Amino acid sequence: MIRLLLLSYCVMGCLLQCVALNKLLPSEVKLQQLLNKLPDTGDNIVLGKAEARYASFMERENKVTDSITIYTGLIRYYHDKKQYEAVRRYSAALVAAAERDGRLEVLARSYATWFKADSAMGHYQDAIRHYQLYKALHDSLFKIIKHHQLNQLEAQFKTEQKDQTLKLKQQNIELLTREAQLQDARLQSAWFIRNVIFGGAGMLLLLLLLGYNRYQLKLRSNRQMKQQQEEIYKQNLSLQELISTQDKLLEEKEWLLKEIHHRVKNNLQIVMSLLNTQAAFLDDKDALNAIRESRYRMQAISLIHQKLYQSENMALIDMHTYIHELVIYLKDGFPGMNRISFDLQIAPVKLDVSQAVPVGLILNEAITNAIKYAFTGNGTILVSLQQTGDQQLTLVVADNGKGFPADGGTLRKKSMGMTLINTLSEQLEGTLNIQHHNGVIITVNFKYREKQAFTGPAEFKEEITNYA
């Protein structure tokens, strides 16, 4: 007990020393070492008094930066000791200190710690609210950083463009000056020749001087031609540097687009994880089925964004690879799939994102309905995507199951999945046809829109070369 009292008073002294001596790093390390020596007990009265005196002192001194440092250390200590109520209390204090100091990164980290403590204690509503605050701050910080980077790149580009313009103007002035000098030289030469002709043929000395003068002019002309060649060479170097700069900017733009698709895919994975977590607390069968179907739909969209940031082409989706991976995911998601086989007939087609997403969702709904309702035993599902005409594609999902029964067919026809298929077909500006013949055959005919792929720096470089 005496040892506990001594350690607790040492903690209180270290807390006050962090502010009085203004030596945050040594005091913080010393505080963490003392906190680790305290026994794992929830009723440490003396430590509580030390924290209360420190909080009163910090409020009186109004040292927000020191408060943030100490609160962070206390939160880490209590989190390691699994004293989550204390973690929540100091997380709230850290949020207040971070808001006063305008520290968004500390504020986001505080809400993340608060979310973990709420989750550990079973306060799930508070946990969700704190997680949403953390996510909003995290996304805001990300947008601020990217916006700042874009502004820097834009300012750098404008500065370099301005420098290039000034250089070109200076070069034009120098060229005009040299041209004027050449014109003056030609005029002087003509005047000299005219005087020599008027002076007579007997002026041999003047003729010799004239020949010498012409020789000097030739040397000067050679020097000027050499200088002009050097200037042309410098201009070519400047143009190459400009092309290199444009290449870098285009590569950075492509990297940013890939990063955005990566973020969207990660966000969809987080939502799917939250749905899985929510499903663990549900007993209602209909609610569980709804969550599972929503997870499949989001996976169909997430897979498209994954293909975009993994591919060199940032505009088109390879539907052959995408449909194969989607079918594999759906097969792994249902039990007893060894009795159902798939016949995939996919043409090497690449679609724009605006069409790839509806096609993926239609496939998800049609295949899921077939797996759930079509078969009582073994069966086969046909998935086909073929080009049937000029800019015309036909998507077919067919099964050899029992089809729509006479008494319960309307339930399957008017389900949410079939309604979604009809809506997505309209979004594709296509025609939907559902047939009942030895199973169910769903056919969607639509025109695919071609979009020029983003070829990046190579295309820009070729255009500059042709222009030059």
pTM over 0.85: no
> pLDDT for 243-271, tens place per residue?
887 877 666 566 555 556 555 656 656 66
The SS3 of residue 376 is: coil
Is the model more confident about 383 or about 376? 383
Helix 124-199 with 204-279: angle, nearest 10 deg: 170
d(CA 231, CA 272) in angstroms, rounded, equals 62
Indicate the helix (H) or strand (E) that contains 309.
helix 285-310
Radius of gyration of the chain (CA): 38
pLDDT for 369 equals: 87
The answer to whether 456 and 250 have CB atoms below 8 angstroms apart is: yes
Rounded to whole angstroms, the Cα distance separating 393 from 350 reads 11
Question: What is residue 25's predicted lDDT score, i.e. its pLDDT?
Answer: 39
Q: List Cβ neighbours of 422 (8 Å cut-off, separation of 6 or more).
A: 432
pLDDT digits (tens, 9 = 90+) for 131-157: 888 888 888 878 888 888 888 888 888
Closest CA to 35 of 79, 99, 68, 67: 79
Domains along the sequence of the chain with CATH: 2-146 (1.25.40.10), 317-447 (3.30.565.10)
Average pLDDT estimate for 376-398? 91
Residue 120 has pLDDT above 70, yes or no: yes
Contact 251, 457 (CB under 8 A): yes
Residue 351 DSSP symbol: E
DSSP category for residue 455: -
Residue 418's pLDDT band, with cuts at 50, 70 and 90, is: confident
- Give the Cα-Cα-Cα angle 225, 230, 231 (nearest 5 degrees): 95
Q: What are the tens digits of pLDDT across the range 316-342?
A: 888 898 899 888 888 887 777 788 899
Considering only 5-14, 29-38, 172-181, 225-234, which range has the smallest mean pLDDT? 5-14
Sheet with 340-346, strands from edge to edge, namely: 340-346, 379-389, 392-399, 440-447, 431-436
Of 118-122, 168-172, 276-280, 395-399, the poorest mean pLDDT is in 276-280
pLDDT at residue 394 greater than cutoff 90: yes
Write down the mean pLDDT value for the chain.
75
Asked whether the beta carbons of 97 and 72 are under 8 A apart, the reply is: no
Least confident of 168-172, 288-292, 446-450: 288-292
